[in-house]
Structure 1
């Protein structure tokens, strides 16, 4: 069965991570995606190691199921090619700084004059307006300006560089998909297209969620290791005897009570529920001492059948083999283009009627489209 978005046709001018991740999600759901790439300005993900079968694993993943068109947008004839394509492709995604597409002659106003129902999504670091609209940035900068980094990490060592790109993906990619699909619903109801302005900094600021609510409405500024969920309470990571880590999220009374029973800390059940910093500090010290007495494998065996919100910190390769993720088909085989399969992360949304699917990994320039 085809995915739920088979009626969507997308022209994708984006590079690197945020835009390509967004269009990958849309392609997995059945949208037809045509990447427009500059042949003289290679997307970094095309050459980023490691490689598999001659293709960057990052590029193979991010651009699976898409076609590609090599087109120098500054060369004569390129503008006309895009103006012709936009008659048939009703969604555009781009990731240039504000004004670049206008200078190339293929900005929103020009394209919507040809296709009034066009949905045009621009993903930028800071949005189309404001004093930072033209400023360069990366994920770490967006998280910093959005206040996210200020309450993450440890009080002594400061904010950590995260292993995933939160502002890029949870901010830019996911909000772009959300905005596009909302605009599609609006177009179905009214026939009107529209401009969708995605700022990764805006989206990162919105991710503050509970800490943001506490600050803006409650006047409480959250700092590292001061709150229930950022290390101020026993909800935290604890090192095991073999220098691995165990996550303890036993917040509710029934879970913290079971945790105390398993660790033979029954006399500290009241400390687990206490809001007093000295009680939490003492309880965390007791947990740390106990958990350091056994290996991760031993703790996994002990908590395997316990409903206590305690889980091991797994590597990606270990997570890929976990029975829960395997049961959810979160590791799939994608055609490399020669009939062999590459292992990739699967699509996380499970549709009953229109399951998502992917056909082929992202291919070398011109390998899955046309070269102009």
Structure 2
């Protein structure tokens, strides 16, 4: 059995943040009905790379879902949507605030249709505040949220995080909010609105950067691959490439000095504790690079792993996908798509022992399930019509 079996989600979202949220929920058994506009559907269906005519981008975010085409500017299709809401548990949308209200389908309207509905809105800046109506993309919130200012080479310019963490974090927090709301409803039978802002999520993930500024009064700057408050905890240059080494406590620092043959550093006042090592990071990094350059990455990994000292190669995507740990955890999966053929994509990172997730179906073609879903709506309406006479007789 899947953890979310029996939960129906109406997914009005598009591109990345919302679809990532609903994919996470679909992976654990929720029936996600992806409601797409006519004339192309979700914008990401036109994003490359492509396999034949199918977008690999779209397919990587919309597995385990069903697709229906509705034009919410038309009264007839609005009526169909409201019928779907009657028997749904969750509505997810990532329009700019106020858009659903313009359609006449905002939370206040939908909770009259179904008082138990959970309405999750994921937008750039949320449903309050002076930026409420500003448009946003991933790079916009990465820039405004501060994360770009602490990312990049030391002394270099602010840099966008390589993955679209502005969208992905918002998708994950929205899924988290939906689960909290479902848990609350289970206890109280009460629905509610979930309001998630991409910018808020960036701030929530700043780790210790806020604390460092609050204490020092200086905004943190990019440090490349070096940790701001733990040393040595960084990338080092070997004879044929780079590797990561993390000596996160005094025991590991002593072990590292022994492995590389520099026990004398243990008595050096510049490196006597983590605070001193961090204050003198530039000097220590230069010394360590002078040692690491004498062996290959593979040779160092063998020595360091043998001593159980945290370390890693810096994998590109090809090496990551070939890694035995990634394979063992089924984190790259293959899925058969009816027109694109075999598609590779990331697997499910949360492993549940009793109710595991499952990738059961490829991303739907535009409107693929429209007839089936409309038939379900009609069947439900007929069932309710048959029940009304009974209800009026009591």
For the criterion TM > 0.5, the same-fold answer is yes
Q: Which residue of the partner structure matches residue 365 of structure 2?
A: 364
Q: Which residue of the partner structure matches residue 224 of structure 1?
A: 222
* Greater C-alpha radius of gyration: 2
Give CA-to-partner distance per residue, 1:248-268, whole Å, 9 cap, x none: 211211212222222223222
Q: How is 1:28-177 mapped onto 2 (pairs within 5 angstroms)?
A: 28-52=27-51, 54-170=53-169, 172-177=170-175
Give 3-state SS (helix, strand or coil) of 1:209's partner: coil
From 178, 185, 188, the equivalent of 2:186 is: 188
Give CA-to-partner distance per residue, 1:192-238, whole Å, 9 cap, x none: 10011000111110111322234346756433339982388431112
Give 3-state SS (helix, strand or coil) of 2:9's partner: strand
From 226, 233, 238, the equivalent of 1:240 is: 238
User: Hey, which of these two has a bigger chunk of helix by percent?
Assistant: 2
> Are the structure 2 counterparts of residues 350 and 226 from structure 1 closer, same or farther at C-alpha, using a change threshold of 3 Å?
closer
From 187, 198, 201, the equivalent of 2:199 is: 201
> Are the structure 2 counterparts of residues 339 and 284 from structure 1 closer, same or farther at C-alpha, using a change threshold of 3 Å?
closer
Q: If the length of structure 1 is used for normalisation, what is the TM-score? A: 0.91
The whole-number CA distance in structure 1 between the counterparts of 2:360 and 2:274 is: 53
Q: How is 1:239-278 mapped onto 2 (pairs within 5 angstroms)?
A: 239-242=237-240, 244-269=241-266, 270=268, 271=271, 273-276=273-276
Do 1:224 and 1:232's aligned partners in 2 also have CA atoms closer than 8 Å?
no
> Are the structure 2 counterparts of residues 73 and 266 from structure 1 closer, same or farther at C-alpha, using a change threshold of 3 Å?
same
Higher mean alpha-carbon deviation, 224-233 vs 15-24, is at 224-233
The whole-number CA distance in structure 1 between the counterparts of 2:340 and 2:307 is: 43
Which ranges in structure 2 are unaligned for 5 or more consecutive residues? Answer: 375-394
Do 1:125 and 1:142's aligned partners in 2 also have CA atoms closer than 8 Å?
yes
The whole-number CA distance in structure 2 between the counterparts of 1:163 and 1:368 is: 35
Give 3-state SS (helix, strand or coil) of 2:104's partner: coil
Give 3-state SS (helix, strand or coil) of 1:106's partner: coil
Higher mean alpha-carbon deviation, 94-103 vs 134-143, is at 134-143
The whole-number CA distance in structure 2 between the counterparts of 1:267 and 1:224 is: 31
Higher mean alpha-carbon deviation, 129-138 vs 285-294, is at 285-294
| Residue 278 of structure 1: how far off its partner (Å) | 5.8
> Are the structure 2 counterparts of residues 97 and 291 from structure 1 closer, same or farther at C-alpha, using a change threshold of 3 Å?
same
Give 3-state SS (helix, strand or coil) of 1:311's partner: strand
Give CA-to-partner distance per residue, 1:47-100, whole Å, 9 cap, x none: 222223542222111000000011222134111111111011120000000110
Higher mean alpha-carbon deviation, 298-307 vs 60-69, is at 298-307
Do 2:243 and 2:314's aligned partners in 1 also have CA atoms closer than 8 Å?
yes
RMSD: 2.5
The whole-number CA distance in structure 2 between the counterparts of 1:226 and 1:359 is: 40
The whole-number CA distance in structure 2 between the counterparts of 1:352 and 1:149 is: 37
Do 1:40 and 1:72's aligned partners in 2 also have CA atoms closer than 8 Å?
no
The whole-number CA distance in structure 2 between the counterparts of 1:43 and 1:82 is: 17
Do 1:5 and 1:31's aligned partners in 2 also have CA atoms closer than 8 Å?
yes
| Residue 299 of structure 1: how far off its partner (Å) | 2.9
| Residue 339 of structure 1: how far off its partner (Å) | 11
Q: Which residue of the partner structure matches residue 24 of structure 1?
A: 23
